[in-house]
């Protein structure tokens, strides 16, 4: 199923309790398995490699459902550290993709071209090709 279920010995103030309220002395943590993480990273890398020559809007369109599906599947587990690890891996992979596309451009130029500041994060990989153009699917 792709999960790693383990029980860790823990102190009295962080311990799990049974139905009677008695302290158990351990906490159960369910995390994504290392094999599942490795497979997901490899799949993301393969998508980026397969779309080396495509516009970044198509790359985003291919990556989004894979990322969304994997995150929805593992969101019930203890996944914060795992999501951060995969996010860092994906950022590095996309950065290498962008540097490969523009070998003679500076990092600042690449950043301004492909990444835009968001509400919570400073690096959001977005399709900025529609800058200044009206959105044809938006209703007024």
Section 10-20 average pLDDT: 80
Q: Which of 18-27, 60-69, 94-103, 123-132 has the least mean pLDDT? A: 123-132
- Distance in angstroms (rounded) separating the CA atoms of residues 116 and 131: 12
C-alpha span between 30 and 7 (Å, rounded): 9
% of the chain beyond a pLDDT of 70: 89
Q: What is the DSSP letter of 129?
A: T
Which residues pair with residue 30 across a beta bridge? 5
The pTM of the full predicted model, rounded to 2 decimals, is 0.78
Tell me what the mean pLDDT of segment 5-11 comes to: 84
Residue 37 and residue 82: Cα distance in Å, rounded? 8
CA end-to-end distance (rounded Å), the chain: 46
Q: What is the per-residue pLDDT across 51-92, written as a single tens digit (0 to 9) for each?
A: 999 998 999 999 999 999 999 999 999 889 999 999 999 999
pLDDT at residue 24 in the model: 84
């Amino acid at each position: 199923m792709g999960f790693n279920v383990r029980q860790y010995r823990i102190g009295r103030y962080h311990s799990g309790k049974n139905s009677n309220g008695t302290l158990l002395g351990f906490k159960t943590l369910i995390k994504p398995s290392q094999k599942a993480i490795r497979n997901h990273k490899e799949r993301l890398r393969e998508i980026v490699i397969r779309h080396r020559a495509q516009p970044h809007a198509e790359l985003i369109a291919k990556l989004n459902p894979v990322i969304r599906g994997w995150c929805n599947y593992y969101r019930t587990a203890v996944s914060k550290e795992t999501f951060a690890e995969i996010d860092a891996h994906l950022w590095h992979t996309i950065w290498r993709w962008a540097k490969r596309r523009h070998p003679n451009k500076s990092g600042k130029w690449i950043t301004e071209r492909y990444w835009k500041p968001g509400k919570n994060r400073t690096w959001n990989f977005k399709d900025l090709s529609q800058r200044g153009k009206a959105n044809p699917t938006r209703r007024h």
